[in-house]
């Protein structure tokens, strides 16, 4: 007779004898199978207990550690908690200050971890060159509105105007509103009022903006707005077991050991995911895990535009592009504005440099209106101020009159006069000085006729003063220097004409 062979093993179950099983003894026999399985289990349990007793294997479970230990986190975040295994431990983690001052900034500086380390206001260099279409409102409709000083309207008469004949209203609407009356006689200022965005005035931790970058509403923060937080912020879904937390170096409260001075095998406490770090822990001393935040993918630097992930961590930065800039009011363009037509790319207006060539001071023109246009004076012989009309005085001086001899001068008086080109040495109108007056005259000439009594009474004169002869016919009446036009005509000799207003450019 022999004993059953025992192997330290813990089979999943114990065989049940069936009524159909034959009775078979000996090693491996069905009649001995149940006893072998139970014997194997007994041998397995005895081996475990012997190992506990001689210290070869540490006790698997204890209600708590004999000495409470401190679990701590340092580095990018800090926190600690006392832990003896008798209850769950919670470490309140506080992120280390990044060096940034709390606030709201349009431009931020981040480190390689995607953490904001500073914030500033945008400067001009942050704004890219913009397309003209970005100026969505407030664009002036006049040259003066753009500060252009070298242009005249293409539809004008190539002269400047001191003011508009009819004052106009300059108005702004849309994202901002305002208006001002403007006739060109003085600068105009439009007091702009931004349109309400729909937001209620107040202070909000979270705001909604429209495509123009304007805040349209505010609200309280919700969970999705919050980055990695202190443990106290986790309000739901927290596990209640060590296994739920993945903790392998603690004893469950259901263990049988009262206390343990240390773990037989040191375990590694590690953190992974958004941060990483590890420390060896056997319960014999406090453990500290130096956390290192995982790189977010961002390159350390200063950016006016950043991308963030769901944790609020910056994952990238870039320069602003034109599409990031909302449509701007003209008043936002505070520097760098051109003052010439070419600077704005305007091709449908006449520069003043060309206007001065087309109509320099002293030019005389006739106008089909009774009032002179801006920049012109009636050529009526009037005395005008030398300082006020300095350009005209420099051009004509006192040629047409010295005025009062000191502060005024005369413009030419061309009312009712025909203008004749100055002879200037040609000999057609010899002896004439520039700007001199010439009275009307009738060129000397001869008339002749044939006396014939069949025409009845008539009379004629043939330049009697220069040797001509007078003759007559039957029934005629003799008279020297008698009018040959039968008494008709006027007080002067003139061609057909139209009366226009003659003016001089000043």
β-sheet bridge partners, residue 69: 83
pLDDT at residue 66, as a whole number: 75
Same domain for 73 and 35: no
- Which tokens hold the place of 56? 């070869």
Choosing from 12, 31, 57, the residue where a domain stops is 57
Choosing from 16, 41, 57, the residue where a domain stops is 57
Residue 474 within a domain: no
Same domain for 68 and 35: no
pLDDT at residue 241, as a whole number: 76
Residue 475 within a domain: no
Same domain for 280 and 296: yes
β-sheet bridge partners, residue 170: 180
Q: How far apart are CA 469 and CA 475, in angstroms?
A: 18
Same domain for 200 and 122: yes
Residue 469 within a domain: no
Report angle CA 132, 339, 188 to the nearest 5 degrees: 90
Which residues are CB-neighbours of 71 under 8 A, at least 6 positions away?
80, 81, 82, 83, 89, 91, 269, 281, 286, 287, 289
Q: How far apart are CA 460 and CA 477, in angstroms?
A: 10
Same domain for 79 and 52: no
Same domain for 255 and 120: yes
Residue 155 within a domain: no
Choosing from 326, 352, 373, the residue where a domain stops is 326
Residue 24 within a domain: yes
Same domain for 30 and 84: no
Residue 212 within a domain: yes
Residue 11 within a domain: yes
pLDDT at residue 458, as a whole number: 46
The series of mean pLDDT values per 10 residues for the chain, 506 residues long, is 82 82 79 82 86 71 80 88 86 87 88 88 84 84 77 57 76 80 80 82 80 79 69 74 72 60 84 89 88 89 89 88 87 86 82 77 96 96 98 97 97 95 93 90 69 46 48 47 56 88 97
Same domain for 438 and 289: no
Q: 314, exposed or middle or buried, with CB in 10 Å at 0-12, 13-18, 19+?
A: buried
**Cα–Cα distance list, 98 to 80, 110, 354, 394 (Å):** 20, 9, 62, 71
In the block, residue with structure tokens 């005035």? 201
Residue 158 within a domain: no
- Which tokens hold the place of 22? 């034959």
Three-state SS letters, 76-100 = CEEEEEEECCCCCCCCCCEECCCCC
Same domain for 382 and 303: no
Same domain for 396 and 288: no
Number of domains in the chain: 3
pLDDT at residue 472, as a whole number: 47
Q: How far apart are CA 3 and CA 383, in angstroms?
A: 149
Same domain for 378 and 267: no
Domain housing 20: 1-57
Same domain for 388 and 284: no
């Amino acid at each position: 007779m022999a004993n059953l062979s025992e192997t330290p093993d813990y089979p999943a179950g114990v065989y049940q004898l069936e009524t159909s099983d034959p009775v078979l003894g000996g090693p491996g026999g069905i009649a001995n199978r149940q006893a072998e399985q139970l014997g194997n289990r007994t041998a397995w349990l005895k081996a475990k207990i012997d190992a506990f007793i001689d210290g070869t294997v540490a006790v698997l479970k204890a209600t708590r550690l004999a000495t409470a230990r401190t679990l701590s986190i340092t580095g990018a975040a800090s926190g600690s908690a006392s832990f003896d295994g008798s209850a769950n431990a919670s470490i309140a983690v506080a992120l280390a200050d990044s060096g940034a001052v709390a606030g709201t900034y349009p431009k931020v500086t981040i480190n390689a971890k995607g953490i904001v380390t500073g914030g500033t206001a945008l400067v001009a260099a942050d704004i890219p060159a913009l397309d003209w279409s970005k100026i969505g409102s407030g664009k002036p409709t006049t040259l003066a509105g753009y500060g252009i000083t070298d242009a005249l309207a293409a539809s004008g008469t190539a002269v400047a105007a001191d003011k508009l004949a009819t004052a106009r209203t300059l108005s702004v609407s849309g994202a901002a509103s305002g208006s001002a009356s403007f006739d060109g006689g003085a600068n105009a200022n439009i007091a702009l009022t931004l349109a309400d965005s729909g937001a209620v005035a107040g202070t909000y931790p979270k705001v909604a903006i429209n495509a123009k970058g304007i805040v349209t509403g505010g609200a309280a923060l919700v969970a999705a707005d919050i980055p990695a937080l202190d443990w106290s912020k986790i309000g739901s879904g927290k596990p209640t077991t060590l296994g739920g937390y993945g903790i392998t170096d603690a004893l469950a409260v259901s263990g049988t050991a009262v206390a343990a001075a240390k773990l037989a095998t040191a375990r590694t406490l590690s953190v992974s995911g958004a941060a990483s770090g590890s420390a060896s822990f056997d319960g014999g001393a406090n453990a500290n895990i130096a956390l290192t935040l995982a790189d977010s993918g961002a390159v350390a630097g200063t950016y006016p535009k950043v991308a963030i992930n769901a944790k609020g961590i910056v994952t990238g930065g870039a320069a602003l592009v034109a599409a990031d800039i909302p449509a701007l009011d003209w008043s936002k363009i505070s520097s760098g504005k051109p003052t010439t037509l070419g600077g704005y790319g305007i091709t449908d207006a006449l520069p003043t440099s060309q206007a001065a060539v087309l109509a320099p001071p002293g030019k005389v023109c006739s106008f089909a209106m009774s009032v002179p246009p801006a920049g012109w004076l009636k050529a009526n012989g009037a005395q005008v101020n030398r300082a006020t009309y300095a350009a005209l005085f420099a051009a004509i001086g006192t040629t047409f009159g010295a005025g009062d001899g000191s502060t005024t001068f005369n413009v030419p008086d061309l009312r009712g006069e025909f203008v004749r080109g100055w002879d200037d040495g040609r000999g057609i109108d010899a002896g004439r000085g520039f700007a001199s007056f010439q009275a009307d005259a009738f060129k000397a000439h001869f008339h002749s006729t044939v006396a014939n009594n069949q025409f009845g009474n008539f009379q004629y004169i043939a330049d009697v003063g220069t040797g001509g002869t007078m003759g007559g016919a039957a029934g005629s009446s003799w008279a020297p220097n008698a009018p040959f036009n039968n008494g008709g005509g006027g007080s002067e000799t003139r061609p057909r004409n139209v009366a226009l207003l003659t003016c001089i450019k000043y």
